Amino acid sequence: MNRFNFFFVTLFGIGKISKIPGSIASLVTTIFLYFTFYVLKISPENILVGVIIVFFVSIYAVNIFIKNLNEKDPKEVVIDEFIGQSIPICLYEIAHQEVKNTNEVLTFYFIMFILFRIFDILKPYPVNYYDKNFKNGFGVVMDDVCAGLYVVAVLVLYMVFSS
């Protein structure tokens, strides 16, 4: 069970990469979701349900992982990046289910990746609130959920003002 939990919270060991594991996990998530939607043709609603399930499981799994650690948000825990990066991509796909130009999709995926990394690193309020005030699995996961929701807000504003 501990080995499974380790692979889950580190996203199959990505979190153990010594340099920028969070960015690598976000990039792998972005590529994985593109493959899932455009090669496997799995519906974004189904993937979003899976992300929601992963959200709840990850709170519990991260709590188990950090229980005996001094660092309550260790860099090797990157399941939160998976969740946070998945939110804007899934919502983008749900909102744009018509046939899209591949270049447009890749551009939006790139923008979502960059924006998520910016919000996750800079941690504007309330991202920093969860990061500072909840030293548990909930805090570890929620700061990335908030960063993902910031990306959604920026994209919605962009779409409103550009139309």
pLDDT of residue 32: 98
Q: Supply the pLDDT for residue 71.
A: 80
**Whether pLDDT at 103 is above 90:** yes
Structural domain tally of the chain? 1
Instruction: Measure the CA–CA gap between 162 and 145, rounded to whole angstroms.
Output: 26
CA angle 111, 27, 25 (to 5 degrees): 135
Does 132 have pLDDT greater than 90?
A: no
Question: Looking at residues 111-126, what average pLDDT do you find?
Answer: 95
The pTM of this model reads 0.94
Mean per-residue pLDDT of the chain: 94
Q: Binning pLDDT at 50, 70 and 90, where does residue 14 land?
A: very high
Rounded distance, CA 49 to CA 55, Å? Answer: 10
- Cα separations in angstroms, 150 against 41, 54, 109, 124, 144: 27, 20, 15, 9, 10
Domain that holds residue 61: 2-162
Amino acid (1-letter code) at residue 19: K
Q: How far apart are CA 144 and CA 81, in angstroms?
A: 6
Share of the chain above pLDDT 90, in %: 83
Residues, the chain: 163
